[in-house]
Structure 1
Amino acid sequence: MKVFLDTNIILDLLLERDGYEDSAVLFEMQDAGRLNLCVSLLTMVNVAFVYKKTVGPHLAAANIKYLSSLVEVLPMNGEQLQQALLLKGRDIEDILQATCASEAGCDYLVTRNVKDYKISKGLAKGVSLPQVLAPAAFLAAMK
């Protein structure tokens, strides 16, 4: 099962923010062969930016390199960006994340900001949003 992780899930884990334990369980499930975890290139860039400010550049670089060995980092392209730019009143980052997850064939998109992904009308034709769940809801559904 292919699961796309939103940026906030990765930051929760790295910064040990509230609820990070659920994010850690996702990685344990991947270790057990139950999941294939994916993130976008945009997520890795955003995580690097935020995390570097917190722990410094050297530790951030080492941890992000390790993280990228654990997850599939999905590419993004100019066509996805152009489609997202055409959609007025929508969060371009959420549209890019959703499009990336959809085009990669992800079954789920796990985020703490489920309400931000009520954007299916904003996606390009032929792009369908994976099921969007908060970490706790995803874990409950997998039991």
Structure 2
Amino acid sequence: MIIKIDNNYKPQPRKSVSLKKSNVNSSESFEDIVFSSAIRNEEIEEISKKLDEIEGKLEREFSSQIVEEYKELIRDLIKKLNSLANVIEKSSSRSKDKKLKVIVFADGKLKEILEKMVKEHISKATLMSISTELKGIIMSILA
């Protein structure tokens, strides 16, 4: 019996087998996405109703406190719309680009408007026209 020994032979390292559960694709199911989207839509509707109320207050009485409330609601609305954009990104493939672009546009427009409000004391009429423009942007996002 002749046995040849290869001096360059290196055994393959043994792989250990894990018995722990692995995270198998932890993405949300379609039903979860739709349900969370519906909840966010309800929250957005609530915020838009509050915005309408505050706009009514601004028509009657223009004060910095009401403007601050208005700005805070707009911030909340943008946060909700951004979370809605994440849901749109997960659930749709082609139409998301348009909606995400609209959200980015609305966010940039909002920043511009809020900077104007802080730097200059804009009149009620200007604020009302801006709020109408914001409503249009929001409606186009939700459409």
Higher relative contact order (CA 8 A, sep 6+): 1
Do they fold alike, i.e. is TM over 0.5? no
TM-score normalized with structure 2 length = 0.25
Give the structure with higher Rg (CA): 2
